[in-house]
A and B are shown apart, each in its own frame.
Chain A
């Protein structure tokens, strides 16, 4: 009996936390996704990579239920996000945290109140306990001393770390990172890489990192999906992708400027364009 129980528990813990099936999404006439399917395993860091403009952030918004797909579904711990009522959707969102590219800190609150915000609205904890929890989260991101600053007084890297502290304030099971390394100096990048890894190791969070910063992302990811042209182009562990023979994957992973993904935006012939008379654009 105990054997059966432990096998069941093991299967539960191994079932993916997020499942995306046959996802189609378009904006106007442009197809962003044409049948994307992927699985985010529990307790692991999964990276979703791809060139700019492939809809990586859109995918996070679809997972978070902020956008509705044209077809397909997104299951979070077995629940179809897009079939939930508004109230049930907000309840599911309490189990996830999201780190936005801009930080998205509330501009009318200081650092302390930004981190305290999820605790104040979702718990009845006394002020003294909220204070302790906020200071613990701020200590984890190294900004306990900056608690009185307003968001306008923070650098980009600091804002993102505060946003990270806020995202983990309620100890979520899933955390979504939207381009966490963009626009960061090397020191901030290093700090963020360490923080993401440490949070995953210490708290066993399921993490999804959307990024096109290859080095940083591959150094911490357990599994990687590469998305291009509205589909999953490749997936595997960082090691298998590094030696992938597909020219498109190769070009992306090794950062080659030209290849199957062209460097130039589609245009007419260069010489005939230059030699055209009359200065017509």
Chain B
């Protein structure tokens, strides 16, 4: 019994210690004024985590918008309310699906790659050699990746929403015959900039910080072996996904559930 309590306590202490390390890691790497070269490094990472994630995010957005329209139509048509399809597609995407699904895709596509890349740099002593050259890897390697993630995911989320709404239009209007005017005008009338778009973007920003933070910290903190890299990459995807879904509930409750 005592043994179990001790083991539980040790796990708790380890968890707290890891969270403390992660906090210090974030503060030391993300805070600070970037040098001229820092901007170049950031741009390169924007290409890596942002531009290269564009295809998977946009294609997913298109399909999710199309599925939403199809499912929404079959339900709404029973009540004669298929004119509200545009409103349903837009609100579902802007408030929920675009921030959440884009973050999950981002964790799988860019987050795992960031972990593996930084982990491999650690395993091959590149980070250590950088330290010995007198260059702080937190500023040189980690910071550009963190900031690229912070900026890229919200932008990808916008792309996801736009393409999703267009996918809904293709299925709802072009295929199922919903009146085009009501698709767009209902959407325009019901979507509020601050409440819907603003809150959705805020969610996306929170997810961007959490997912990128988890990804780079897992890479930086891993045990530098092939098994360590594989475990850390898995942890990045699992922890990021759970954090995104859990935080989504909390944020939705605050933003739309009347808790604020």
Contact status B124-A104, CB under 8 Å: yes
**Are B132 and A98 interface neighbours, CB within 8 A?**
yes
Task: Report whether B125 and A102 are in contact in the complex, using a CB–CB cutoff of 8 Å.
Answer: yes
Stretch of B52-60, B80-88, B133-141 that contacts chain A = B133-141
**Is B136 within 8 A of A100, CB to CB?**
no
Chain B interface residue count, Cβ-Cβ cutoff 8 angstroms: 16
The main secondary structure of chain B at its interface with chain A is: helix
Chain A residues whose CB sits within 8 angstroms of the CB of B124 once the complex forms: 102, 104, 107
Report how many residues on chain A are interfacial, defined by Cβ distance under 8 Å: 25
- A90 contacts across to B, CB distance below 8 A: 131, 134-136
Q: Is the CB of B126 within 8 A of A86?
A: no
Chain B residues near A97: list those with CB within 8 A: 132
Closest to A98 in B: B132
A86 neighbours in B (Cβ, 8 Å): 136
Nearest-CB residue, chain B, relative to A93: B134
A122 and B125 CA atoms in complex are apart in Å by 20
CB-CB under 8 A from A102, the residues of chain B are 124-125
Would B129 and A104 count as touching, CB distance under 8 A?
yes
- Whether the Cβ atoms of B128 and A118 lie closer than 8 Å is no
Specify which chain A residues have a CB less than 8 angstroms from the CB of B132 in the assembled complex. 64, 66, 93, 96-98
Contact among B125, B126, B131, B140 with A93 in the assembled complex (CB-CB below 8 Å): B131
Which residues in B have their C-beta under 8 angstroms from that of A105? Answer: 126, 129
Contact residues in B for A94 (Cβ distance below 8 Å): 133-134
Determine the chain A residues whose CB is within 8 A of the CB of B131 once the complex forms: 64, 66, 90, 93
Task: Assess the A100–B128 pair: CB atoms within 8 A.
Answer: yes
**Are A93 and B136 in contact, CB atoms less than 8 angstroms apart?**
no
Identify A104's interface contact among B37, B126, B136, B140, CB under 8 A: B126
Alpha-carbon distance A102/B126, docked complex (angstroms): 9
B239 vs chain A, min Cβ distance (A): 26
- Contacting pair A104 B134 (CB below 8 A): no
Interface residue ranges, B against A (CB under 8 Å): 37, 120-121, 124-126, 128-136, 140
Interface residues of A (CB under 8 A from B): 61, 64, 66, 86, 90-91, 93-94, 96-98, 100-102, 104-107, 117-118, 120-122, 163, 166
